[in-house]
Amino acid sequence: MENPTVFGKIIRRELPADIVYEDEEFIAFKDIRPRSKVHILVCPKEYIPTLAHYPETEEGALKLGRLMLTANKVARLLGLEGYFLRIHVGEKGGQEVFHVHVHLRSDA
Ligand code: 5GP
């Protein structure tokens, strides 16, 4: 199924974004409404609505592990010495865009 979210549109280049990192599996771009000095969103290109949709399988663990490693890699590429990662899960968890993403933020 095609990813109908704004992040799907960014991945398909139908919407502009300030992309700071991209590889075959992931993309990272600046949040349009930054709430820290550095505020990046790291997403898999595969359409996965929320963190809760990752299957509890070896494959799910590897995909999720690579997402976190990619957030670390982006932080390193941006030269961040300290940062925090945040994931909203579901509407009641504060999630607005239903394509899984990690907020990578730093005020350091
Ligand atoms: P959530 O609350 O779903 O975890 O976070 C969604 C984030 O996406 C918000 O911080 C919001 O500012 C950001 N966002 C929403 N629409 C766009 C957009 O079109 N472009 C970019 N770069 N960020 C967006």
* CA distance linking residue 40 with residue 85, whole number of Å: 10
* CA distance linking residue 8 with residue 82, whole number of Å: 29
CATH code of the domain covering residue 64: 3.30.428.10
Tell me the residue range of the domain where 57 lies. Answer: 6-106
Pocket test for ligand 1, best of 41, 42, 95 (most atoms within 8 A of CB): 41
| CB of 85 shorter than 6 A to ligand 1 | no
Mean pLDDT of 84-92: 98
Quick: pLDDT tens for 25-78. 999 999 999 999 999 999 999 999 999 999 999 999 999 999 999 999 999 999
Catalytic center residues: 101
| CB of 17 shorter than 6 A to ligand 1 | yes
Residue 108 confidence (pLDDT):
85
Residue 1 confidence (pLDDT):
74
Output the pTM of the full model.
Answer: 0.97
State the amino acid at position 99 in one-letter form: H
* Among 74, 80, 75, 52, residue whose Cα is nearest residue 64: 52
Number of domains in the chain: 1
